[in-house]
Amino acid sequence: MSLATPTRNVPFFNYRGAFAQDREKFIEIMTNVLDRGAFIMQSDVFDFEKNLASYLGVKHAFGLANGTDAIQIGLMAAGLKQGDEVLFPSHTMVATPAAIHMAGGIPVPVEMGPDHMMDPGDLERNITSKTKAICPVQVNGRTCDMDAIQAVCDKYGLFIVEDAAQGLGSKFKGRCAGTFGAAGTFSFYPAKVLGCFGDGGGLVTNDDNVADAVTMLRDHGRREDGEIRSWGFNSRLDNMQAAILNFQLESYDSVIARRREIAAQYQAQLGDFDRVVLPPGPDNGDHFDVYQNYELEADDRDALQVFLKENGIGTLIQWSGKAVHQWEGLGMTGAKLPKTEKFFTRCLMIPMNMTITDEEVGYVTGKIREFYA
Ligand SMILES: Cc1ncc(COP(=O)(O)O)c(C=O)c1O
């Protein structure tokens, strides 16, 4: 260990810090909800839905129980049927294919491109007569090349449900993640860029028929007037979480700006360093990234992670270290995805959050350089 630089504690994500940052305000919001006895489907949920729809420029927004339900409900509302195949990138949380499976579909994993996103060039070879939809994942706070994905959908008559769990506010050609397909879905898990203090999810759509179906699917098959029209789930966004999200959404743009600033610092401090491959920088053409995560590729990744840990720096290998198709219990190990598999031997996420200081960013990059020296 270097004597020159003292060891510090730079957590990967500071859960207590997320609350402590605005402690008084959060307590005021929660007390207000409790005093009103406003627990399920009260004004805070409807306000949040209105605010989210207006933030994204879409017609309908729904607060749901979590981001996984949102994908499943989105697929069902868009018309997925038993046995339909849905293409998804294997570089994602198991939640994406799990939602496809639970909606009755068959998840078909596809490759990632050099920007870590679904590779549109790998879609066509995976299309069969049973393929009905594509579920692009706006992973790490970046939006896929939606033009290329849409072109494949147009050619084969497929629909899109976007898993934008990590992508709220990210854009492709000026258009927000979540707004491209039949439905777009979000997670408000505490470590997300827009996070609450428990589970939470959202779904947006411009399609009135999809919106009608979601209204019923998330609330026991009931319409707003109480009439039961179909089978449904209980997947409502908790009112307390909605109140917190409403407050967080007010300053969301400044949160994105700070995360982009951190990404620019990583880029400036490590961009010339050939032992790591960085994710695309914040000045990247058609894309506007919100940096849910900062995921790099590193030589000697496992030893680097141990070294950083010894120096007080928290890191994470995403999705427990494997692409989805590599988990034997899920029955997709036959998929041939060499680029994705290679990536999972090299990927590492370094701290990207709202509590890290500029000085700590410098400490992290200094330690990465020190490791290779
Ligand atoms: C890409 C992706 N999809 C889906 C989910 C599921 O969201 P939730 O945990 O809210 O169910 C997550 C959550 O981490 C995610 O990162």
Output the DSSP codes for 172-206: ETTEETTSSSSEEEEE--TTSSS--SS--EEEEES
Question: For residue 353, what are the contacts with CB-CB under 8 A and spacing of at least 6?
Answer: 12, 13, 14, 17, 191
Q: Is residue 3 part of a domain?
A: no
- Burial annotation 272-292 (CB, 10 A radius, 16+ → b, else e): eeeebbbbbebeeeebbbbbb
pLDDT 10s digits, 129-159? 999 999 999 999 999 999 999 999 999 999 9
Q: Which SS3 state, helix, strand or coil, does residue 94 take? A: coil
* Mean pLDDT in residue range 164-169: 98
What is the pLDDT at residue 37? 98
Laid out side by side, the sheet with 183-187 consists of 60-64, 201-205, 183-187, 159-163, 131-134, 85-89, 106-110
Which pLDDT score is estimated for 5?
A: 59
| Residues 6+ positions from 309 with CB-CB distance below 8 Å | 315
Find the 293 Cα to ligand 1 centroid distance in Å.
13
Residue 4 pLDDT > 80: no
The mean pLDDT value for 65-88 works out to 98
Return the percentage of the chain with pLDDT > 70, whole number. Answer: 98
pLDDT band at 334 (very low <50, low <70, confident <90, very high): very high
Mean pLDDT of the chain: 97
Q: How far is the CA of 73 from the centre of ligand 1 (A)?
A: 14
Task: Identify the pLDDT of residue 139.
Answer: 98
* C-beta separation of 40 from 33 below 8 A: no
Last residue of a domain, one of 216, 250, 284: 250
Which tens digits make up the pLDDT trace of 338-371?
A: 999 999 999 999 999 999 999 999 999 999 999 9
CB distance 185 to ligand 1 below 6 Å: no
64-68, 120-124, 213-217, 283-287: least confident range: 283-287
Q: Check if 96 has its Cβ closer than 6 Å to any atom of ligand 1.
A: yes
The C-alpha atoms of residue 55 and residue 163 are separated, in whole angstroms, by 18
* Helix or strand (DSSP H, E) at 349: strand 347-350
The dihedral region occupied by 137, where left means phi > 0, alpha psi between -120 and 50, and beta the remainder, is beta
**What was the pLDDT predicted at 6?**
61
* 185 and 126 housed in the same domain: yes
- The answer to whether residue 5 is domain-embedded is no
Residues 51, 94, single domain; the answer is yes
Atom of ligand 1 nearest to the CA of 92: 1
pLDDT band at 305; cut points 50, 70, 90: very high
Q: Given pLDDT bands bounded at 50, 70 and 90, which one contains residue 283?
A: confident
User: Looking at ligand 1, which atom is closest to the CA of residue 200?
Assistant: 10
Which of 208, 229, 250 represents a domain boundary (last residue)? 250
Is 14 within a domain?
no
* d(CA 37, ligand 1 centre) in Å: 29
Q: What is the mean pLDDT of residues 106-114?
A: 97
Quote the pTM value: 0.97
Cβ neighbours, 10 Å, residue 93: 21
Residue span of the structural domain in which 36 resides: 23-110+117-250
User: Alpha helices of the chain — where are they, by DSSP H?
Assistant: 15-20, 23-36, 43-56, 67-77, 95-102, 146-156, 208-217, 239-250, 252-270, 301-310, 338-343, 358-372
Strand order in the sheet with 276-277: 276-277, 294-298, 347-350
- DSSP tag of 115: T
Q: Which atom of ligand 1 is nearest to the CA of 199?
A: 10
| CA–CA separation, 136 and 118 (whole Å) | 6
Ligand 1 pocket mutation pick from 187, 203, 237 by most atoms within 8 angstroms of CB = 187
Would you say residue 17 lies in a domain? no
Tell me, yes or no, whether 149 and 31 share the same domain: yes
Q: Are residues 226 and 185 in the same domain?
A: yes
Region of 60 (left: φ > 0; alpha: ψ -120 to 50; beta: rest) is beta
> Are 217 and 266 members of one domain?
no
**Residue 361 Cβ < 6 Å to ligand 1:** no
User: Is residue 9 domain-resident?
Assistant: no
Closest alpha carbon to 132 in 209, 76, 67: 76
Q: 263 and 308: one domain?
A: yes
- pLDDT of amino acid 284: 76
Residues 244 and 277 in one domain: no
Residue 316 shares a structural domain with residue 240: no
Categorize the per-residue pLDDT at 254 as very low, low, confident or very high, splitting at 50, 70 and 90: very high
C-beta of residue 349 within 8 angstroms of C-beta of residue 295: yes
- Same domain assignment for residues 327 and 191: no
Is residue 137 lining ligand 1, measured as CB closer than 6 Å? yes
The number of helices, as runs of H, and strands, as runs of E, in the chain is: 12, 13
Radius of gyration of the chain (CA): 21
Q: Ligand 1 centroid vs 305 CA: distance in angstroms? A: 24
Buried b (16+ CB within 10 A) or exposed e, 73-86: bbbbbbebeeebbb
Do 300 and 219 sit in the same domain of this protein?
no
- What per-residue confidence (pLDDT) applies to 2? 47
User: Is it the case that residue 295 has pLDDT exceeding 90?
Assistant: yes
Ligand 1 near 189 CB (within 6 A): yes
Burial classification of residue 265, based on how many CB atoms lie within 10 Å of its CB (0-12 exposed, 13-18 middle, 19 or more buried): middle
Number of domains in the chain: 2
Read off the amino acid at residue 199.
D
**CATH code for the domain of 200:** 3.40.640.10
The enclosing domain of 290 has a CATH number of 3.90.1150.10
Whether 244 maps to a domain, the answer reads: yes
How many whole angstroms from 159 Cα to the centroid of ligand 1? Answer: 21
- 277 and 167 within one domain: no
Residue 6 lies in a domain: no
Tell the burial category of 155 from Cβ atoms under 10 Å away from its Cβ (0-12, 13-18, 19+).
exposed
CA-nearest of 67, 199, 231 to 135 is: 67
Q: Which residue, of 203, 223, 250, is where some domain finishes?
A: 250
CA of 87 to the centre of ligand 1 (A): 17
Size of the chain, expressed as the number of residues it contains: 373
Residue 8: inside a domain: no
If one counts every other C-beta atom within 10 angstroms of the C-beta of residue 159, the result is 19
On whether both 200 and 340 belong to a single domain, the answer is no
Q: What is the mean pLDDT of residues 157-170?
A: 98
